[in-house]
Amino acid sequence: MGLDYSSKELFVSSENQRGHAPKFYNKYQDKLAKEQRILARRTKDSNNWYKQKLKVGRLHSKIKNLRADYLHKLSKKLIEKYNAICIEDLDLKSMKIKNLAKHTFDNAWGMLVNMLEYKSIFSGKQVIKIDRYYSSSKTCSSCNAVKSTLELNERIYKCECGLSIDRDLNARYNILTEGKKLLAY
């Protein structure tokens, strides 16, 4: 199976599954902002400041634990279902510069990849990482023609061969094809 990262969802698979990302940080963002505002108004190093700092820390821990629990369950389900999972080796640090940084880190794609890798080792399955410089979104899955530019807001991939397909769908087919080539070696 091929998995392509998606900032709206968590991933899009080659079998047309879309990984639902619950966006835990987004859900608790207002409550976290309120607690942090209260912390900012406290006198630093006072007892009330330490109590409020604990509240903010607990809220961050809750978000982290909810995200980790969800990703553990999802990665276990994927590893049990598939023998080989092909994913793109993304540079997440460079992605934080763009305007999708909050969604990217709320999805925790890197954490999911790590979980898939170590769970695949224990279960005898494989996780195949495609090179980050492979242009999975710009390559036509039908004729293998490569576009020179593809803007992020172009959601439909249109090729000169006549193929008109969703950008994420095209990318996951290319990731799966490239992963099969690497698996053959």
Q: What is the DSSP string of 112-151?
A: HHHHHHHHHHHHT-EEEEEPTTS-TTTB-TTT--B-S---
Task: Give the integer Cα–Cα distance in Å for 175 and 183.
Answer: 12
**Amino acid (one-letter) located at 100:** L
Q: Residue 11 gets which letter from DSSP?
A: E
Active-site residue identified among 4, 35, 106, 178 = 4
166 belongs to the catalytic site: no
All residues at 6 or more sequence positions from 78 whose CB lies less than 8 Å from its CB, including other chains: 1, 85, 116
* Structure tokens given for 181: 């080539």
168 belongs to the catalytic site: yes
Task: Give the integer Cα–Cα distance in Å for 161 and 146.
Answer: 12
Active-site residue identified among 35, 106, 168, 178 = 168
All residues at 6 or more sequence positions from 37 whose CB lies less than 8 Å from its CB, including other chains: none
80 belongs to the catalytic site: no
Active-site residue identified among 9, 15, 80, 88 = 88
State the alpha helices, DSSP H only, in the chain.
24-41, 47-81, 92-95, 101-107, 109-123, 167-184
Q: Which residues pair with 157 in a beta bridge?
A: 165
Q: Which residues have a catalytic role annotated?
A: 4, 88, 168
